[in-house]
Structures are given as C-alpha cells and as structure tokens.
C-alpha cells in the first residue's frame, strides 16, 4: 500500500514560549491529558529550545529477548539498530532529547552501556506528522506511525503501521517484515523518577522484546 504524501502534516512548535510545547498534548483528549500525573505532563510539554538538550539518566533493570527477538534485533541493524541487541540487566542508560531543526520534531538518542565494548546508541526522530499525528523514524527510510494513549495514569505510545519512505513516496511494510506491535509505556514513580518499558509482541511468536528501565531528569 502506497503512502499518501498529502496526509502528512507537521505541527510547528507554538510561538508562545510561555505555553511550552503543546505538540504531545494535542494528540490526546483534554480528559486523557488531565488524567496524567503532573510530572508527566510537564515532561512532555517541556520546550527543548534550539541549542539545548533534555537529559535523563537511569538504569536498565532488565532486557528480555526471545530467539526471534534477538534475530530481528540483529537484522534491524541495517536500519540503524533500533532494538536492544542483547539481554542486559543492571547497566547504565542515558536518554537525550533535542529539537530537530530540519523537520520541527525531536531527536531522541538512547545510550545503553554494555559490559563488553562500547555502549549501544540508538537514534530516532519523532515527527509530528502523518495519519496519526506522530511518526518515529529510525533510519534508512524506515519508520512507524504511532498512536498515543493514557491508561491507569501512564502515557503509552503504540505502533500503528511500519513504513519505508524515500523522499515523497513510500509504502507500508507487510506485518511479516516487522518485529510486531510495539508499545512504550512511560509511568511516573515520584520524586522525579519514571519508568520506560518497551514491549514488542509478534502476532505469531508472541512477546519478542521486553525492556524495563528507570530514569530521572538530569538538572544542570
């Protein structure tokens, strides 16, 4: 199925700096946004000005990969290596968020320490565009449409469709070429701490990736 470029849209950041960043808020209903804990609302409405970076440091408590998940993570290196490559626990992690001056979105960089060799570094670009209003690009033309939800006070990002795009044209990837349905859950713990949980569930192979980490914002 071909992608339709006319459906893509980009929401520029609001001009009034005092209002903060309203782009994530615009993807939720007023009641869902109000149901989020205040720290999560602040975190996802914080403006990252050009030249500035939001930094979060933490610990990966555990990573679980099925045989299929491990295989797909290695294959995904061809498009930037967006999935954890090994089962690691108790290792340091750092996430940085900067403004994408080209697309008007955000660049997310995740660094995961390893006990042997250099850390794994994952780059992705969140763009406020497309059918769902939010897309995430991982590299080499590969990305996914994301939907945003609030469940039991947590903020969830779920994959809708994976796609391959070069320039103005592209197509949706068949499900058998994807790792499965992806869910990222952001849960507040209090005292400035929050969890990041990644789950990927394949329709035939079940849960293939599970990662749970705890972070806190670094205040400079």
Whether residue 127 has pLDDT greater than 60 = yes
The model's pLDDT over 130-147, given as tens digits with 9 standing for 90+, comes to 999 999 999 899 999 999
Per the model's pLDDT, the better-predicted residue between 10 and 211 turns out to be: 211
Q: Does residue 14 lie in a domain region?
A: no
Q: Is the pLDDT of residue 9 over 80?
A: no
CATH number of residue 136's parent domain: 2.40.128.20
Are 156 and 148 within 8 A, CB to CB? yes
Helices within the chain (DSSP H only): 30-35, 38-43, 67-75
Say whether pLDDT at 69 is over 90: yes
Residue 116 lies in a domain: yes
Distance, CA of 56 to CA of 121 (rounded, Å)? 14
Which pTM value belongs to this model? 0.89
In a domain, 79, yes or no: yes
Does the residue 10 lie in any domain? no
Question: Within 10 Å of residue 102's Cβ, how many Cβ atoms?
Answer: 9
Q: pLDDT confidence of 102, banded at 50, 70, 90?
A: confident
Assess if residue 24 is contained within a domain: yes
Q: How many domains does the chain have?
A: 1
């Amino acid at each position: 199925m071909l992608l339709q470029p006319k459906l893509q849209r980009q929401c520029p950041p609001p001009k009034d700096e005092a209002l903060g960043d309203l782009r994530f808020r615009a993807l939720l209903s007023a009641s869902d946004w109000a149901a989020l804990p205040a720290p999560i609302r602040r975190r996802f409405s914080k403006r990252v000005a050009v030249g500035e970076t939001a930094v979060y440091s933490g610990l990966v408590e555990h990573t679980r990969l099925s045989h299929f998940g491990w295989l797909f993570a290695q294959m995904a290196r061809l498009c930037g290596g967006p999935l954890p490559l090994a089962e690691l626990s108790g290792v340091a992690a750092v996430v940085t968020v900067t403004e994408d001056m080209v697309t008007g979105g955000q660049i997310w960089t995740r660094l995961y320490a390893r006990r042997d060799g250099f850390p794994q570094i994952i780059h992705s670009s969140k763009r406020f565009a497309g059918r769902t209003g939010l897309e995430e690009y991982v590299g080499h033309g590969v990305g996914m449409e994301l939907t945003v939800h609030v469940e039991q006070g947590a903020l969830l990002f779920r994959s809708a469709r994976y796609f391959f795009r070069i320039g103005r044209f592209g197509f949706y990837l068949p499900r058998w070429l994807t790792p499965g349905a992806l869910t990222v859950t952001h849960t507040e713990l209090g005292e400035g701490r929050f969890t990041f949980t990644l789950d990927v569930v394949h329709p035939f192979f079940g849960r293939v990736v599970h990662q749970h980490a705890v972070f806190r914002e670094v205040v400079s």
